[in-house]
Structure 1
Amino acid sequence: MRVRLMRAGAAALGAAAGVQLLHLAPSVVRLAPARRLLAPHLSGPGGAHHVALTFDDGPDPRSTPAVLDALDGLGVRATFFLLGSALERAPALGRELVERGHEVAVHGWYHRVQWYPAPRRDLRELRRTTEAVTEFCGAAPRWYRPPYGVLTAGLALAARRLGLRTVLWSAWGRDWTADATPASVLATARPALTGGATLLLHDSDCTSAPDSWRATLGALPLLAAHCTRHGLTLGPLRDH
């Protein structure tokens, strides 16, 4: 009896481990080499003369308005991947994003990785965020980006079921770090800022170093100037 119980327990553990592995398997595409090899479409490739400008983690009343003003000054529009919990606290700011010509997208309700499989939970959270973006912003989202770029099987299936297209990035500025500066954001992003790139930045420091958004703000004119010099247009994913 004891042997049978041990074997049954081992089989159950093996099955659970297999489910866990399947759940996490897609997350390998967070690594750029794996993404280029296995799922290049997740990098958000676009037109040869366009760079998609995207922001994560907002809206944030402390920082998003300053980013919007800077973009207005540059004549640039972007795609904002919104957190449902943040949007719920600042719904008017979500509406303002759309009124000022920007595109809104889904980043999940909370900024956390769902390490354990729970398909119903994933669908519920993405549906809740999608509905909040549609209601508060007045525009139905087309895009989804998982927090930290960690795409699990449950989230991938939930996004597809909701009609959302998952997109990560091909360039970033590491603007979330405590030592980020406008110059460092440009220097980090510049090697990958070629035609068709999707650039990841942040308009909030809710999951980043305090005040790191100021480095992003200062980098925007530098990034815009770089693109102009190379004949590239900055814009939202919808134009990509």
Structure 2
Amino acid sequence: MTRPWRWLAGIAAGAALYIGLPYLLVQRGGLGIVTRGDPARRQVALTFDDGPDPRSTSLVLDTLRAAGVQATFFILPALGRQHPDLLRRLLDEGHEVLPHAHRHQHAWTLLPWVAFRDPGQATREVEQLTGTRPRFQRPPHGAYSLATVLGQHATGVTGVHWTVEARDWAADATPDTVRAEVARQVTPGGIIVLHDAGPGARTTPAALPGILEDLHSRGFEVVPLRDLRGARPGTLRDVWRTLRGR
């Protein structure tokens, strides 16, 4: 093998280790992260990413309060500092506040040392804002590199994924399509991801009343992640079952 081909082979092997394996085992297979709760219990966790934003998070909170529902918010700490009154409302109304990211950027595009530090930075910032040490963290886009995985382990937080992706951020999304996606995908023990800020906030506040109505009419208890029974990090056996589609 000539030297250029050796370099290319080395780059390919490095990419497979750094991105390919975390994508397959963690992001797709759920190894070491929470992906769902007890499938025998008619319960779902409702989660929101990317906030807080006073233009949209307030509308989401109004709907949750009217429905008597508490949820989990994976926040960007910088926005929490910018909007302390909104952060205080999240906490006062009993919602779970957890770290999303210090830098909202896809893990594959971050330099390795930046991706490694990000879970720890976000976790420490959220702890300073809330006074509570977070147990969980969800990276932007639910994406992992090897550095992300190692950074979570070094910080002592567990990653969280989802079973229901409502695509509220899609350019062609409407409140009706978001509501329909949740209704189509939801199963007992599931984790729903929506957005209370960013592109998803264009549709989610309007879709949320109907989503909650559908879930309650189907007998689902809607809870924050902390109350999702049976939620635990995935094992290699879970990965095998997931990748086999069972």
Query: Shorter-normalised TM-score: what interval?
Result: 0.7 to 0.9
Moved more, 15-24 or 58-67: 15-24
Correspondence 1:218 to 2:206:
yes
Q: Which residue of 2 aligns with 1:27?
A: 23
Distance 1:41 1:229 in 2: 33
1:236 Cα deviation from its structure 2 partner = 0.5
CA distances 1:80-131 after superposition (whole Å, capped 9, x unpaired): 1112332332244333312210011121112211326754322322211111
Equivalent residue in structure 2 for 1:181, among 174, 186, 191: 174
Q: Which residue of 2 aligns with 1:172?
A: 165
1:220 Cα deviation from its structure 2 partner = 1.5
Q: Structure 1: any 5+ residue segments left out of the alignment?
A: 1-5
Q: TM-score, normalised by structure 1?
A: 0.83
SS in 2 for 1:18: helix
Correspondence 1:17 to 2:12:
yes
Partner letter of residue 46 of structure 1? G
Correspondence 1:73 to 2:71:
no
Partner letter of residue 181 of structure 1? T
CA distances 1:172-226 after superposition (whole Å, capped 9, x unpaired): 2211123322221111111221210100100002xx2xxx524211222211111
Alpha-carbon distance change, 13 to 89 in structure 1, aligned in 2, over 3 angstroms: farther
C-alpha contact 2:107 2:140 (8 A) present in aligned 1: no
SS in 1 for 2:37: coil
Higher-Rg member (1/2): 1
C-alpha contact 2:102 2:122 (8 A) present in aligned 1: yes
% of aligned pairs identical? 37
Aligned residues: 225
Alpha-carbon distance change, 202 to 30 in structure 1, aligned in 2, over 3 angstroms: farther
Distance 1:14 1:117 in 2: 22
Partner letter of residue 154 of structure 1? A
Correspondence 1:238 to 2:233:
no
SS in 1 for 2:203: helix
CA distances 1:116-166 after superposition (whole Å, capped 9, x unpaired): 675432232221111111111222222111211211111011112211111
C-alpha contact 1:173 1:201 (8 A) present in aligned 2: yes
SS in 1 for 2:108: coil
Q: Which residue of 2 aligns with 1:86?
A: 79
Q: Which residue of 2 aligns with 1:3?
A: none
Instruction: Trace 1:126-165 onto structure 2 (pairs within 5 A).
Output: 126-165=119-158
RMSD: 2.4
C-alpha contact 1:59 1:90 (8 A) present in aligned 2: yes
C-alpha contact 2:71 2:96 (8 A) present in aligned 1: yes
Alpha-carbon distance change, 75 to 120 in structure 1, aligned in 2, over 3 angstroms: same
More contact order relative to length (CA 8 Å, sep ≥ 6): 2
Moved over 4 A (4+): 9-13, 40-43, 116-119
Distance 1:117 1:109 in 2: 12
